[in-house]
Structure 1
Amino acid sequence: MNYTEFRQEMKAFPNFSVREIEKHFPEFDSRRLVEWQKKGYIQKLRNRYYCFSDQEVDEPFLYYTANELYHPSYVSLESALSRYGFIPEGVFQITSCTTLKTNSFNTPIGNFTYRHLKPSLFFGYQLEEWNDHRYAMAEPEKTLIDYLYLHPEIKEADDIEALRWNALEINNRISIEKLNRYEAYINSPALSNRLSTLKTYLDVAT
């Protein structure tokens, strides 16, 4: 098998694992991957995961890749805060939540960080369409909850204010009813205290 045949068969995949390759080419010789990396045809993202070197690297591709590199996971935290306009600046890595252990991967296309959540908190995300594929992104309400849950140092209004969150944009995008429903389901006094602080900050700031 040559590279042209491989490219034709795998071009529908934004990135691909060795397992995916072997589904299409059962007799695949993995030495070809080393050869094609040296020739600049493909890039290694992490062990056994690759993408084509000419793949356009935009935000949807990075979100999709984040899901694929460490599964199950969904994009959240700083990446989702930026996506929804809740923070003023862009971010330089893709942040996700996962039921697996906390981890990170530095790749040629960007850095990917994953924070562990217990399985009962792995909800509140939506599947977004991109080029006949889908990636999981935290809902606006769950984005806030994930961040507050994973940052116990946030205790007072000043701590929220220091984050420079866009209160107007948050109020415009979130459903307080959904936020309260998720809070009740999680049933964590510590999280409820932080959410109470956030709600007070949102009321005062808008």
Structure 2
Amino acid sequence: MKFAELLEIVADEPVFETGFLRSGRGREPGLEAQLSRWCATGKLLRLRRGLFALAPPYRKVIPHPFLVANRLAPGSYVSGLSALAFANAIPEYVPEVTSCGAARPQIRETPLGRFSFRYVKPAFRTGYRFMRLIDGQSAFVARPEKAFLDLAHLQSGGDAPAWIEELRLNLEELSPARLRAEATASGSPKLARAAAHVIRRAGEAASIDESLRVP
């Protein structure tokens, strides 16, 4: 395969797998070696074994970090601080993308950024949705309520009021009803305590806002 042919096949793909190149083409002897050579010459970026992205200036679409995270660990969803920041539920920019799912805990340093993956048991793999991002890209991303609960679950002392306050949550972006439902469904006393604190703080904030309204 020539590089011009590769560009025709994957020009509109943010990332692509080796199998995508073989689709409908049969065997491609030496394809892996050719891909390695293009990585060595800076034409391709290797994200993991069998997963690549076009390097600038060849790419037409900049891969969204959330899509990359999903493709690095199929079956995972973006959660924790990453999903909270995406939902404007915390004020900080989060450079590392955190995902939850069935994959073993790991950190991947790639040419497109740093990605961490945390294991959660099957019963906890809920509360996420398939979201549109940019340039026609989509990814599985936790709702902000579930992102907070995943973060609390994985954090030692994640139900401590002092730790929760340090997050500086934008309570307007969190649904108390959904937060309570997700915490109850988890069956975790720790998450029930964490959710209760946030719900209580949301109620206090609402009471203050009501008292400040001009009659």
Does TM, scored on the shorter chain, surpass 0.5?
Answer: yes
The structural deviation recorded for 1:3 is: 0.6
SS at 1:92's partner residue?
coil
Quote the sequence identity (%): 26
- Partner residue in 2 for 1:145: 149
**8 A contact 2:48–2:72 mirrored in 1:** yes
SS at 2:53's partner residue?
strand
SS at 1:32's partner residue?
helix
- Partner residue in 1 for 2:161: 157
Distance of 1:68 and 1:156 partners within structure 2: 34
**8 A contact 1:157–1:201 mirrored in 2:** no
Are 1:122 and 2:115 matched, yes or no? no
Are 1:131 and 2:135 matched, yes or no? yes
The structural deviation recorded for 1:181 is: 1.6
Which of residues 62, 85, 91 is equivalent to 2:65?
A: 62
- Partner residue in 2 for 1:78: 81
Distance of 1:150 and 1:56 partners within structure 2: 37
Distance of 1:136 and 1:40 partners within structure 2: 30
**8 A contact 1:127–1:134 mirrored in 2:** yes
Matches of residues 10-21 of structure 1 in structure 2 within 5 Å? 10-21=10-21
- Partner residue in 2 for 1:94: 97
Distance of 2:19 and 2:164 partners within structure 1: 44
The structural deviation recorded for 1:156 is: 3.1
Which AA in structure 1 matches 2:194? R
The structural deviation recorded for 1:64 is: 0.4
Q: Structure 2: which 5+ residue stretches go unaligned? A: 207-215
**8 A contact 2:14–2:61 mirrored in 1:** no
Are 1:182 and 2:185 matched, yes or no? no
Which AA in structure 2 matches 1:127? F
Distance of 1:199 and 1:49 partners within structure 2: 42
Distance of 2:60 and 2:87 partners within structure 1: 22
Which AA in structure 1 matches 2:84? L
CA RMSD of aligned residues (A): 2.0
**8 A contact 1:148–1:191 mirrored in 2:** yes
Deviation readout 1:154-174 (Å, 9 max, x if unpaired): 3432222223x23xx32x222
Which AA in structure 1 matches 2:161? A
SS at 1:30's partner residue?
helix
Larger radius of gyration: 2
